[in-house]
Amino acid sequence: NAGVTQTPKFQVLKTGQSMTLQCAQDMNHEYMSWYRQDPGMGLRLIHYSVGAGITDQGEVPNGYNVSRSTTEDFPLRLLSAAPSQTSVYFCASSYGPEGYTFGSGTRLTVV
């Protein structure tokens, strides 16, 4: 039981590049979400999904896309990276309205 797995752990992008942050969970959790964490800002919700085929926007969705084709996977796509997207990204999942299990995070730097 691996929990929530995020890849890569570290990434450096040039402005304008695109990439996909991967998130997979093996707990059969229906709910998955992406947060970004910036100093002094706490965790801000980017996008979330309550099941395969269902996604919705969070607090800061601009510049990011998501899809949920399976229960296990919830990738986050950066369409055209900007320096303002430099952050630590966490994927989280839960079973219903219970506490979240977080992945170990992806540290992204956009130069």
Partner 1 sequence: GQQVMQIPQYQHVQEGEDFTTYCNSSTTLSNIQWYKQRPGGHPVFLIQLVKSGEVKKQKRLTFQFGEAKKNSSLHITATQTTDVGTYFCAGRRGQTSYDKVIFGPGTSLSVIP
Q: Please report whether residue 97 would count as binding partner 1 according to CB under 8 A.
A: yes
Q: How far apart are CA 63 and CA 69, in angstroms?
A: 20
Q: Please report whether residue 35 would count as binding partner 1 according to CB under 8 A.
A: yes
Q: Which is nearer to partner 1, 14 or 97 (CB)?
A: 97
Q: How far apart are CA 71 and CA 50, in angstroms?
A: 9
Element (H, E) at 90: strand 87-94
Q: Choose the binding region for partner 1 from 14-22, 66-74, 77-85, 87-95 (rule: CB under 8 A).
A: 87-95
Q: Please report whether residue 90 would count as binding partner 1 according to CB under 8 A.
A: yes
- The residue type at 67: S
Contact by Cβ (8 Å): 21, 74 = no
Residues 37-66: x where in contact with partner 1 by CB under 8 A, - otherwise, as a string: ---xxxxxx--x-x-------xx-------
- The residue type at 100: Y
- The residues binding partner 1 (CB under 8 A) are 30-31, 35, 40-45, 48, 50, 58-59, 90, 92, 94, 96-105
